[in-house]
Structure 1
Amino acid sequence: MDLANADTWGATIYFWIIPIVLGDAIFPPVPSEMLVITGGALSAEGRANVLLVGLLAAFASWIGDVVVFQLFKRRLSHVLDRWRWGRKFHSGIHAAIAKAGRSTTYGAIIGVRFIPGGRLATSAAAGIADVTTRAFSFCAALGGILWATWLVGLGYFTGSATKLPFWASSLIGVAVGLVIGALVGMIVTRRRGSRSPVDEPADEARPDAAP
């Protein structure tokens, strides 16, 4: 299978989007961004439908976020601790939360997904903090749409502008996306507001908290 040949992909790109984007919600190293950008680049060559690529990516992003959110909201994450790989994964989630910073607003649920590991970190943190399912689902859906639109558009634009083979356009798009995504993520995570809807209610647990 020649992955550098656009004819090899054909409709295959549609079948890969959902499992890869879903997998990225749980295991960030899965290259979902690369795949979605590639879908956009293929669309620029007329090899894929840009709207369908975007819809599939947004839907899979939303489903993956909701699964992680519910896992932690229902306190089912302890199931992971039964296995060695699960303990490492569980530890990695908390490390991702610490690295991404405490989500300060509902906007962070939308925006932090643009940095590596951001989807996993904010979905898990929101579940731990008991953010309402309705609010999280709405933010995750909006974030998924923006995320998919940005990546598909990036692939489509680089493919149309450079006229390079789709794989070269994809690599350029990934490089640009990583830089801009990191900047957006830094801005989002550094914003500090009043009471965070994603922060854990630590005040109630503090013995010196005011009554």
Structure 2
Amino acid sequence: MDLIAVIEPLVTSPLLYPVLAVLCSLDGVLPMIPSEPAVLAAGVFSHTGTPNVLLVIAATAVGVFIGDHLAYGLSRSVLGPRLIGRSSRIGGAVAAAGRQLDRRAGQLIITSRFVPGGRAAMNFACGMARLPLSRFSPASAIAALVWAAYTAGLGFVGGAAFVEDPLLGLAVGLSLSLALGSIVHLVRRRSPRRKVRPQGPADPGRADTGGTAGPIGLSTAPRPCGTARGAP
């Protein structure tokens, strides 16, 4: 109950909405920022009417959209490859995402929101692969709204189901979110393998387009994904 007494004034304050927007913006570049628990907590308490769940969703979506573009812009700068190259784990995730952006950019941008750490990796991949903003921004907007509604809604349902124990509602919401993230991650890992396997030796030849490889394996050739204006 003491923890609830600490959390409740924060989530019922008018400052909650800009705080959520800032946290979700920073989370686009720094995945360790606890934006998801904050949105879930706001959703848990919003079943009482304060905070307003629609404003929670709006503030979260705006923050996510801004954070996506911060990461996208950073990865296109000279600092992007250096920052990403410091972590082999993030570098590998960015490289893996970049190889799939040609045909499934929108789908990947949206589903990456539900994979732990997937959002930052996908945003960096889109920037380094020079995915045009005309393709990145609409997908980012849809992904931001979907994730905000899902996360705040999950908290709202948890708060309504566990009125007497909001912390339990928050714990259930986090568990369900992690479970969905794990499922999406497994599906995404298995799906590309099924598509790539029949191509056999064609993949290495396809990778050699005459460009120079970046520090994490992404091509920096002038023919990155999305530069063909007629591409869907």
Give the TM interval when normalised to the shorter protein: 0.7 to 0.9
Superposition deviation, residue 101 in structure 1 = 7.0
Residue 29 (structure 1) aligns with? 32
Deviations 1:53-104 (A, max 9, x none): 00110110011011111111244426xx5xxxxx5x6523x52252477232
Can you give the 5+ residue segments of structure 2 that lack an aligned partner in the other structure? 197-205, 213-232
- The answer on whether the counterparts of 1:62 and 1:144 sit within 8 Å (CA) in structure 2 is yes
- Between the aligned partners of 1:189 and 1:97, the Cα distance in structure 2 is 16
1:71 aligns with 2:66: no
- Write the letter of the residue equivalent to 1:63: I
- Write the letter of the residue equivalent to 1:142: I
- Write the letter of the residue equivalent to 1:15: P
Q: How does 1:120-199 map to 2 (within 5 A)?
A: 120-192=120-192
1:91 aligns with 2:94: no
CA RMSD of aligned residues (A): 2.5
- Between the aligned partners of 1:133 and 1:170, the Cα distance in structure 2 is 35
- Write the letter of the residue equivalent to 2:208: D
Taking structure 1 as the reference length, what is the TM-score of the superposition?
0.80
Is the partner of 1:173 in helix, strand or coil?
A: helix
Deviations 1:114-139 (A, max 9, x none): 11111110000111111111111111
Can you give the 5+ residue segments of structure 1 that lack an aligned partner in the other structure? 82-86, 195-200
- Between the aligned partners of 1:156 and 1:100, the Cα distance in structure 2 is 33
Identity between Structure 1 and Structure 2 (%) = 27
- Write the letter of the residue equivalent to 2:22: P
- The answer on whether the counterparts of 2:28 and 2:67 sit within 8 Å (CA) in structure 1 is yes
Is the partner of 1:17 in helix, strand or coil?
A: helix
- Between the aligned partners of 1:182 and 1:20, the Cα distance in structure 2 is 23
Residue 9 (structure 2) aligns with? 8
Aligned residues: 191
Q: How does 1:95-110 map to 2 (within 5 A)?
A: 95-99=89-93, 102-103=96-97, 104=100, 105-106=104-105, 107-110=107-110
- Between the aligned partners of 1:185 and 1:114, the Cα distance in structure 2 is 8
- The answer on whether the counterparts of 2:94 and 2:124 sit within 8 Å (CA) in structure 1 is no
Taking structure 2 as the reference length, what is the TM-score of the superposition?
0.73
Once superposed, which parts of structure 1, at least 4 consecutive aligned residues long, lie more than 4 Å away? none
Superposition deviation, residue 23 in structure 1 = 1.6
- Between the aligned partners of 1:29 and 1:56, the Cα distance in structure 2 is 19
- Write the letter of the residue equivalent to 1:23: L
Residue 65 (structure 2) aligns with? 62
CA 1:66–1:158 in structure 2 vs 1: closer, same or farther (change >3 Å)? same
- Between the aligned partners of 1:206 and 1:19, the Cα distance in structure 2 is 38
CA 1:56–1:3 in structure 2 vs 1: closer, same or farther (change >3 Å)? farther
- Write the letter of the residue equivalent to 2:92: A
- Between the aligned partners of 1:28 and 1:44, the Cα distance in structure 2 is 28
**Rg (Cα) greater in structure:** 2
- The answer on whether the counterparts of 1:100 and 1:189 sit within 8 Å (CA) in structure 2 is no
Residue 45 (structure 2) aligns with? 42
- Between the aligned partners of 1:59 and 1:202, the Cα distance in structure 2 is 36
